[in-house]
Structure 1
Amino acid sequence: MSQSLRLGVAGLGTVGAAVVRMVARRAAALAAATGRDIRVVAVSSRDRTRDRGFDVAGLHWFDDPVEMARSAEVDCVVELIGGSEGPAKAVVEAALAAGKPVVTANKALLALHGAALAKSAETAGVALAYEAAVAGGIPVIKAIREGLAGNAVSRVYGIMNGTCNYILTRMEREGLTFEACLKDAQALGYAEADPTFDVEGFDTAHKLAILTSLAFGTSIDAEGVSVEGISGVKPLDLRMAEELGYRIKLLGVAQATEAGIEQRVHPTMVPKSSSIAQVMGVTNAVTIDADAVGELTLIGPGAGGEATASAVVADIADLAAGLSRPTFGCPTASLRPAERVEMQRHEGGYYIRLTVHNRPGVAAGVATRMAEREISLESILQRRTSEMAESDPKGRSGQPVPLVLITYAATEGNIRAALDAIAGDGLLAEAPQLIRIERE
């Protein structure tokens, strides 16, 4: 059997501790599969006293993770600190500079610094592996980079944030507000005290930027992702989606168009018959549209210690077996600049909820403004909420009412211009709600 692969684990939070336990628990199976013993020899974390479910007595503890990365007793560095800057970035850079392979679950680091780190890995002749950075335990990186190497990918999209999917699931099933569901998610540990990164779509955007590079051979362009979160979604929108045959999901979508690559994160209506519409709770799902295999959907746990550790250990096993691929599927010099497609040029169907003044001619005025921008309407629905019906059963109060439009394919720019004109006509009682439709 070859010489042992000695691991140094930086970061002993939920995932880091799970990795240490999994490597020990699966030691015999990993050795049999890779032809090499794999063992954790060093760790680094801020707190020595915390009980993590394993004995640290036999491990070399480093207060400074960069010192651990440079240590001669460590062959491979596992970075599980998190964050795009600071210690996480420093430890990865130090490991690569020392000619050591790195395994990480850090999507923010890769989204913002992936190109530079991949080039450093190439220069050093070592691997930078990151299966756990996108969709937790779902092997989507390997699926795109290796399993679909013979395919041309046209679109990658999915549910990549369990917090948002949990909130939308609860809102749909129980008719709760976003605020109430977020509070429950925080109490259950699904959402952070400051949930902005998750619920406003930035976490999904970082993951999408990585998948875009893999799927289309482009340089990572996290700043090119158009991002909207779920905080503006109302229970009424979910009820209307149900009536119209859709569900609302926060999707990250990367799509090849004639103008370039669209990268967008936003609440999306998906047909209830689609695979991705069936994914509920904290589960993640990624769908890949490719020329040879057609549509491939991968579904599974997108977070959690054991699930994420599973992906980390899979990368470690590949390194132990001598299996390595270019970080983003091809040498960094071969990655082409991403041609951004501004959101204004996106073309598709739209759900538009307008809160309009309840007076004659409003619906006709809205339809006229849409027609002026060559926007065809598939349906137009006027609804009073249950609260309105209870307080004004005959509908005589003139209280504003929801007017819901479903459009055929139209450009974002034309939709926005029509909505501006409708607002200018004084027809709206509040800002409109706009949700894109992603059809099969």
Structure 2
Amino acid sequence: MIYHDTLEFAHQLDEQDALKAFRDDFLIPKHNGEPAIYLCGNSLGLQPKSAKNYIQEQLNAWEDNAVEGWFIGNEPWLKYHRLLLGPLSNILGAKETEITVMNSLTVNLHLLMVSFYKPTGNRFKILMEAGAFPSDQYAMESQVRFHGFDPKEAIIEVAPRPGETTLPTEDILKQIADNANELALVMFSGINYYTGQFFDLEAISKAGHEAGAIVGFDLAHAAGNVPLKLHDWQADFACWCSYKYMNSGPGGISGIFVHEKHFNDTSLNRFAGWWGYRKDKQFLMAPGFEAEIGAEGWNVSTSPIILMALHRASLNIFEKAGGLQSLRAKSEMLTGYLEYIIGRVNDKYGEDVYQIITPTEKNQRGCQLSVVCKRDARTIFNYLAQNGVIGDWREPDVIRLSPVPLYNSYIDVYKAAQTLFKALGAVK
């Protein structure tokens, strides 16, 4: 695609966009009475207009049936979570039995670590990317301390080369190979929250298994954003949140993936709860935990139906849009256009004041572009907000901008870039 730096070209792309109607399925915040340019789906996705109806349906069921809502009605709550598994299996590249929906992201990460971080005398180390989201860092630190190890010895962080911001795949694989005899777990983000780099999860999974380690992924910034094939990649486990690219509300429900190769592994520890008990005997209330086969056996607590209803509202829009396969093509175009327009802003200004640190290669990024502002960064970010462009700030000088294919337009991208240009004049 040859891009052009004109409003007319952006309008033309929007007219040709087969997915443009889905923008009307979301509530876009207003700025001075007009729709804001919302480029912050990497942090919180927009509210589907249908969300209120999905919640109201469950409030009605509660009103009409009270406790019997678990067993009767059009969508009995006891099995409500299973309504989400079909759409999620497509988004994650997993079998429905390998997925369950529960809790929040870091809670799920800890629960999965109980099963899959099994340090032994010499094999006790965890390999992860340097600069992972703090929750992951804190989780790894606390897990290794729980097992009696010093995080400084037990955690290996793969850092970018001097002067670089992203990680070459070969560096990750080399670190795995170099530490093969000591690795218990390879734990990587799908997409690094700061740089927007989409890691080669298939290669990481293969290398980790060749080293004799378990491989897990935090997909907070990847689920609903980039193509995933968790089953085929042989990942051992994964978890994610749903409130970013899957638009399921602030603090929305999380989920986990456990590969089917582990379903019959009785050596795995787990923190158990009644909700994960085998379904054919669940109401016998017998002592002694017997896990349900599949990822559902990792469930602990009762399904939060209202949160799941919010999640379902968005997932059904994904299905209507043709799934992630359809959305990915537009995502690549939108982000590519944003990259091009930011380059034109630098050209017009005569200086590379905006440096994109997210990889240029499409297969190494999703929606997000992380932009280093080399001049008055915080002032420029504030100028964007004051002029109706909602992005995301990360210290010390990075603005994250994420055009989401379900609700962002090419005109959004064009206008955001023009605001970046105007900001430079305003901060002189």
Q: Normalization by structure 2: what TM-score?
A: 0.29
* Greater RCO structure (CA 8 Å; 6+ sep): 2
Q: Normalization by structure 1: what TM-score?
A: 0.29
Structure with the higher fraction of residues in helix conformation: 2
Structure with the higher fraction of residues in strand conformation: 1
